[in-house]
Copies of this chain bind each other. A is one copy, B any other.
Amino acid sequence: MASSSSFTLSQALLTRGTSHHGFTQSSEHHRLALSTLSLPSFSGLKSTSSSTLRTPTSRRRLSTSQASLPIRAAAVETLETSTDAALVEKSVNTIRFLAVDAVEKANSGHPGLPMGCAPMGHILYDEVMRYNPKNPYWFNRDRFVLSAGHGCMLQYALLHLAGYDSVQEDDLKNFRQWGSKTPGHPENFETPGIEVTTGPLGQGMANAVGLALAEKHLAARYNKPDNEIVDHYTYVILGDGCQMEGIANEASSLAGHLGLGKLIAFYDDNHISIDGDTEIAFTENVDKRFEGLGWHVIWVKNGNTGYDDIRAAIKEAKAVTDKPTLIRVTTTIGFGSPNKANSYSVHGSALGAKEVDATRKNLGWPYEPFHVPEDVKKHWSRHVAEGATLEAEWNAKFAEYEKKYPEEAAEFKSISSGQLPAGWEKALPTYTPESPAEATRNLSQTCLNALAKTLPGLLGGSADLASSNMTLLKMFGDFQKDTPEERNVRFGVREHGMGAICNGIALHSPGLIPYCATFFVFTDYMRAAIRISALCEAGVIYVMTHDSIGLGEDGPTHQPIEHLASFRAMPNILMLRPADGNETAGAYKVAVANRKRPSILALSRQKLPHLAGTSIDGVEKGAYIISDNSSGNKPDVILIGTGSELEIAAKAAEELRKGGKAVRVVSFVSWELFDEQSDAYKESVLPAAVSARVSIEAGSTFGWEKIVGSKGKAIGIDRFGASAPAGKIYKEFGITAEAVITAAKEVC
Chain A residues within 8 Å of B, Cβ to Cβ: 106, 108-109, 149-150, 176-180, 183-185, 187, 197-201, 240-242, 244-250, 253-254, 256-257, 273-275, 280-294, 344, 462, 464-468, 478, 480, 490-497, 521-522, 524-525, 527-528, 531-532, 534-535, 552-558, 561-562, 565-566, 568-572, 700, 702-703, 705-706, 709-710, 718-720, 722-725, 728-729, 732
Contact = CB atoms under 8 A, between A and B. Distances in A.
Contact of A718 (B288, B490, B571): B571
B496 A724 contact: no
B274 A468 contact: yes
A99 to B, nearest CB: 15
Contact of A249 (B249, B256, B288, B462): B249
A571 B720 contact: yes
A700 B525 contact: no
B254 A281 contact: yes
Given A465-B275, A571-B719, A700-B569, A532 B557 contact: yes
Given A178-B732, A245-B493, A569 B566 contact: yes
A200 B562 contact: no
Contacts of A273: 464, 492-493
A185 B555 contact: yes
A561 B566 contact: no
Nearest to A197: B557
Nearest to A536: B557
A554 B246 contact: no
B241 A493 contact: yes
A461 to B, nearest CB: 9
Most B CB contacts (10 A, CB to CB) among A179, A490, A525 go to: A525
Most B CB contacts (10 A, CB to CB) among A524, A571, A718 go to: A524
Contact of A571 (B493, B561, B570): B561
Contacts of A281: 254, 257, 464, 490-492
Given A183-B555, A273-B464, A719-B571, A705 B702 contact: no
A240 B257 CA distance: 15
A179 B728 CA distance: 11
Contacts of A246: 245-250, 494, 496-497
B244 A493 contact: yes
A534 B492 CA distance: 27
A242 B108 CA distance: 40
Contacts of A275: 462, 464-467, 490
Nearest to A199: B557
Contacts of A253: 244, 282, 284
9 contacts: A197-B557, A199-B558, A240-B493, A275-B464, A284-B293, A290-B292, A525-B527, A565-B565, A565-B703
Contact of A558 (B185, B280, B286, B709): B185
Most B CB contacts (10 A, CB to CB) among A528, A561, A709 go to: A528
Given A245-B494, A284-B253, A703-B565, A553 B720 contact: no
Most B CB contacts (10 A, CB to CB) among A522, A561, A571, A700 go to: A571
